[in-house]
Amino acid sequence: MSFSPGQKVDCRVDSLAFGGAGVARMSGMVFFIGNALPGERVIAEITQVRKRFVLAHTADILEAAPERVKPPCNFYGSCGGCQLQHLAYPAQLAWKARQVIDILERIGSMKGFDRGDVIGSPVPYGYRNSVRLHLAARKPLRYGYHSIDNQSICAINRCSIAEEPINSVLSDIERHVRLRKFPEQIILHADADGRVAISPKGGPAPVVTERLCGIPFSLPATSFFQVNRHVAMRLVELLKKHVAAFAGSGTLFDLYSGVGIFSILLESHFSSIVGIDIDRQAITHAGLNIAQSGKNKFQFMCGRVENICARLYRKYARESNVILLDPPRGGIKAELLNFLKTVTPSTELIIYVSCDPATLARDLKMLCADGRWRLENVAVLDMFPQTAHIEVCCVIGRG
């Protein structure tokens, strides 16, 4: 059977793809169907036909899954910010955990690891402390997210996954963005006290104060900070459990350290800490945050991790070390992965925190290829409810 754009097909959906599309199979082709859930029977309207798969959207639902719920957001289906509001939250968690394991096994060829905690967000809506918005219209002024087809900007006056202080600004954005030339992109960041900083693209970034596990952190509003404080606290608890055996000994190498959040919150477990990040502003504020801690065990450097890690490791490594990785979505450069293969036996543990399971799987495959390291434990943390994104924390031990 051949398929063509515009054609409507009766499909039975059997699983959920990473990204949020329902998956069906017909005549040797895999269908990825927007707004379709596992167990449903839908009429799928084809939008694109590729060599081995078909892209489609749900034209009609003939049999709905019991996990289907009504999305609370008026922009859902047009706005591309969320992909899973039509799926009940417990089912979101279950499918995300399943997707992580599948990706690690299929792409990373990982086997024999423990499946750790699946940690949900206690607040599945209204959790984001930061949003990046794009100019949608000038008269009246409107900002928004990329549309679901990524062809335009969907103007919004409220975001259901953003914290309420951000929505207060969004609802009257023209009053708050008082600039002669409206920027094409802005970041709204609600700090720990509910104050909202507005950062135009290319302009100076206001300084905000965040708070995690009772500790205040100073940072530019454009620098990285976990968007979900509730799950970020659970992540810190998990990290503390993994490093508990290092009772004040050894060195922690905090790679992609940002403003020093993990370094400061884990400092009691190590005698020295080395942080590296390419964001110069973040490193400057890491220094301020370290000074506030009153401890002198920290060394923070600005630069590309893959370029300076080896030199700093040779200088500061002790008999027992831990390497903590929290890279951007693109993962780790090959140069750094090759270096990490050489740090046994002086490094006992690598902890890899990732927001992209596919690049994580790619990196783990390379890191563990020769048997010097092996994946021991995988925990899934839902830092981004209602979206297809997932946070993963991996413990990698000596092979």
Residues forming a β-bridge with 90: none
pLDDT at 212: 95
Going by pLDDT thresholds of 50, 70 and 90, the confidence category of residue 140 is confident
pLDDT at 201: 84
Higher pLDDT, 98 or 292: 98
Going by pLDDT thresholds of 50, 70 and 90, the confidence category of residue 149 is confident
Over residues 315-329, the pLDDT tens digits come to: 999 888 999 999 999
β pairing state of 215-220 and 207-212: antiparallel
Measured in whole angstroms, the distance separating CA 328 from the mean position of its chain's CA atoms is 9
Q: What is d(CA 200, CA 2) in angstroms, rounded to the nearest whole number? A: 49
What mean pLDDT is reported for the chain? 95
Residue 60: how many CB atoms within 10 A of its CB? 11
Say if residue 234's pLDDT is above 80: yes
Residues whose CB falls within 8 Å of the CB of residue 38, separated by 6 or more in sequence, listed in order: 13, 14, 15, 16, 22, 23, 65, 95
pLDDT at 288: 95
pLDDT at 266: 96
pLDDT at 295: 83
341-361 burial by CB neighbour count: b if 16+ within 10 A, else e?
eebeeebbbbbbbbbbbbbbb
pLDDT at 144: 95
108-136 burial by CB neighbour count: b if 16+ within 10 A, else e?
bebeebeebbbbbbeebbebbbbbebbbb
Residues forming a β-bridge with 297: none
pLDDT at 58: 97
Q: Average pLDDT of 101-120?
A: 96
Q: What is d(CA 157, CA 241) in angstroms, rounded to the nearest whole number? A: 41
| Inter-CA distances, 375 with 114, 363, 365, 371, Å | 9, 11, 10, 10
Over residues 168-227, the pLDDT tens digits come to: 999 988 888 876 578 899 999 999 999 999 999 888 889 999 999 999 999 999 999 999
Over residues 333-355, the pLDDT tens digits come to: 999 999 999 998 889 999 999 99
pLDDT at 180: 59
pLDDT at 296: 87
Burial of 320 (0-12, 13-18, 19+ CB in 10 A): middle
- Cα three-residue angle 71-148-121, rounded to 5 degrees: 45
Residues whose CB falls within 8 Å of the CB of residue 35, separated by 6 or more in sequence, listed in order: 22, 57, 58, 77, 86
Largest alpha-carbon pair distance within the chain? 70
Say if residue 50's pLDDT is above 90: yes
Q: In what order do the strands lie in the sheet with 153-156?
A: 153-156, 141-146, 130-138, 185-190, 196-200
In the chain, what are the domains?
Answer: 8-63 (2.40.50.140), 91-123+212-398 (3.40.50.150), 130-211 (no CATH)
